[in-house]
Amino acid sequence: DAGVIQSPRHEVTEMGQEVTLRCKPISGHDYLFWYRQTMMRGLELLIYFNNNVPIDDSGMPEDRFSAKMPNASFSTLKIQPSEPRDSAVYFCASSLMGGRGMPGETQYFGPGTRLLVL
């Protein structure tokens, strides 16, 4: 299996521009997670989906951020308009339902998208 695939791997953009990050989860996984990692705040969950449905978006910082999962093999995270404080590494992760019936216990991370907003 190719693992979780993310694109682009690096993105440099100017403040105010729209940014779209893409993720393809591991085939068969029914949970998909979007995280943001910064030095100051560490790894933060932004949103997660179960069977393509958003379950918890409480970590989405503000209305400038939106995420979609139109099908089981594709998700996007969009920032519009982007700001310099959005600069971070964005990870997508996927998982199966955990053995104890808990969602997303063992999560497999993609390589991340390094976003720099100037």
Partner 1 sequence: QKEVEQNSGPLSVPEGAIASLNCTYSDRGSQSFFWYRQYSGKSPELIMFIYSNGDKEDGRFTAQLNKASQYVSLLIRDSQPSDSATYLCAGFTNTGFQKLVFGTGTRLLVSP
* 105 near partner 1 (CB under 8 A): yes
Smaller CB separation from partner 1, 81 or 89: 89
Q: How many residues bind partner 1 (CB under 8 A)?
A: 23
Exactly one of 2, 58, 63, 70 binds partner 1 (CB under 8 A); that residue is 58
Say if strands 113-117 and 10-13 run parallel, antiparallel, or are unpaired. Answer: parallel
Residue 85 — φ and ψ, nearest 5°? Answer: -70, -5
* 74 near partner 1 (CB under 8 A): no
Give a three-class secondary structure readout of 7-54.
ECCEEEECCCCCEEEEEECCCCCCEEEEEEEECCCEEEEEEEEECCEE
Separation of alpha carbons 67 and 37, rounded Å: 17
Q: Which stretch binds partner 1 (CB under 8 A): 17-25, 64-72, 73-81, 97-105?
A: 97-105
Smaller CB separation from partner 1, 16 or 61: 61
* 56 near partner 1 (CB under 8 A): yes
